[in-house]
Amino acid sequence: MTAEIINGKALADELRNEMKVEVEELKKQGIYPHLTVVLVGDNPASKSYVNGKEKACRETGISSDLIELPTSITEEELLALIERLNQDSAVHGILVQLPLPTHIREQQIIETIHPNKDVDGFHPISIGRMMAGMNTFLPCTPFGIVTMLQSKHIPMEGKHAVIIGRSNIVGKPVGQLLLNENATVTYCHSRTKDLQQFTKQADILIVAVGKPNAIHANDIKEGATVIDVGINRLEDGSLTGDVDFESAKEKAAFITPVPRGVGPMTITMLLKNTIKAAEGLEKL
């Protein structure tokens, strides 16, 4: 069997075209969706992510501005900036690019962003609402993954979803969203014993480890759906995921590539959340 490739880039383009129309409609009503991105320091990977987000906003008709701050900024100063953005009615979404310098407590910053502007979906209120299955801003990568599964009509209900990775931004929330879709969910992580015993049972295998070739064909069940979240840069500068794509695609029924897989969907869900924030559907 050769797997059907879930082209995240193509789906992202399709969704962004629909969003362009939504944004036009909002503008006719006098609502101009706006995202403010805050970048602290000069981490090249963070800069490149931020540039990608700004470009995607522009292409969708969403306005954005980037506030670049030196690494030396204090936590107090950053908190004061967020408070100001919380009060600014022209700003619908606030995104503070992570990671932050170690002298700033990330959790403190995340909790200061007003939940109505929490387009990353990282605020504990957003997480709690997600857990309760309520309407909220969903974290972008997990939201993108579920949207990809839905786009291919891949059943989730009653299926065994195995998640490798338990970060707050990917592993934990994607498991929660799959549980909300009535999947049976198993979480694996670095302390899991005999990982393969679990991965081989997966109807849906989500790999969010951050290590190239963490998963091979012999780790997966024939006909599984394999979602590769990993983004790893190789020495030659090319990008690769966590899954050995060439071998896994001969055994899976569906598989996502890297690049052009989960990555473009993550940014697309950020746009979706920003539009939702502008529409004011998420008022607490």
53 is catalytic: yes
The catalytic residue among 97, 118, 159, 276 is 97
Query: What is the DSSP code string of 71-127?
Result: TT--HHHHHHHHHHHHH-TT--EEEEPSPPPTTS-HHHHHHHS-GGG-TT--SHHHH
Q: Which residue is nearest to ligand NDP (CB)?
A: 167
Closest to 10 (Cα-Cα) out of 268, 250, 207, 239: 268
- Which of 165, 173, 175, 257 contacts ligand NDP by CB under 6 A? 165
Kindly tell me which of 81 and 209 has the beta carbon lying closer to ligand NDP: 209
Residues 167 and 142: beta-carbon distance below 8 Å: no
Residues 232-251 close enough to bind ligand NDP by CB under 6 A: 232
Kindly state whether residue 186 participates in binding ligand NDP, applying the rule CB under 6 A. no
Kindly tell me which of 208 and 248 has the beta carbon lying closer to ligand NDP: 208
Coil, helix or strand for 64? strand
- Which of 191, 236, 246, 283 contacts ligand NDP by CB under 6 A? 191
User: Residue 55 CB, nearest distance to ligand NDP (Å)?
Assistant: 15
Residues 161 and 183: beta-carbon distance below 8 Å: yes
Query: 3-state DSSP: the chain helix, strand, coil percent, rounded to 5?
Result: 45, 15, 40
CA distance 264 to 68: 23
In which element (H, E) is residue 139 found?
none
38 strand-pairing partners = 67, 96
Kindly tell me which of 148 and 154 has the beta carbon lying closer to ligand NDP: 148
**What's the Cα-to-Cα distance from 205 to each of 44, 182, 192, 200, 211, rounded to whole Å?**
30, 15, 15, 9, 16
118 is catalytic: no
- Which of 64, 116, 136, 141 contacts ligand NDP by CB under 6 A? 141
Q: At 144, which amino acid appears?
A: G
Kindly state whether residue 190 participates in binding ligand NDP, applying the rule CB under 6 A. yes
CA distance 122 to 277: 14
Kindly state whether residue 43 participates in binding ligand NDP, applying the rule CB under 6 A. no
The catalytic residue among 53, 117, 172, 276 is 53
User: Residue 216 CB, nearest distance to ligand NDP (Å)?
Assistant: 13
Kindly tell me which of 153 and 191 has the beta carbon lying closer to ligand NDP: 191
**Positive or negative torsion for Cα 215, 98, 127, 88:** negative
Residues 194-233 close enough to bind ligand NDP by CB under 6 A: 195, 208-211, 229-232
- Do the annotations mark residue 231 as ligand-binding? yes
The catalytic residue among 120, 203, 242, 244 is 120
Residues 61-90 close enough to bind ligand NDP by CB under 6 A: none
Kindly state whether residue 189 participates in binding ligand NDP, applying the rule CB under 6 A. yes
Kindly state whether residue 121 participates in binding ligand NDP, applying the rule CB under 6 A. no
Annotated binding site: 165-167, 231
Show which residues are catalytic.
53, 97, 120
Annotated binding site for NADP(+): 165-167, 231
